[in-house]
Amino acid sequence: MSVTGGHVATVVALGATLNGACGKALIAAERIRFPGRMYREDIGAHEFR
């Protein structure tokens, strides 16, 4: 994979609960690998408050 910056992927997941879906999405995001990869773990976090 060759990237030059910006958003390169969107990861979504389904779960029985919002927490479950979020967990599945984070696991999937961790499996995507390339040099300089970054992802946010806080997206949707405000929904848990």
- Beta carbons of 33 and 44 less than 8 angstroms apart: no
Spell 13-44 as b/e; 16+ CB within 10 A means b.
Answer: eeeeeeeeebeebbeebeeeeeeeeeeeeeee
Q: Quote the pTM value.
A: 0.70
Higher pLDDT, 35 or 44: 35
Average pLDDT over residues 8-37: 88
- Going by C-alpha positions, the residue among 30, 44, 47 that lies closest to residue 9 is 30
Q: Mind listing the pLDDT tens digit for each residue in 21-35?
A: 888 998 999 998 888
Q: What is the pLDDT of residue 16?
A: 96
Residue type, 31: R
Mean pLDDT along residues 5-25? 86
Q: What is the pLDDT of residue 27?
A: 93
Report the candidate in 46, 43, 38, 44 with the shortest Cα–Cα distance to residue 8: 38
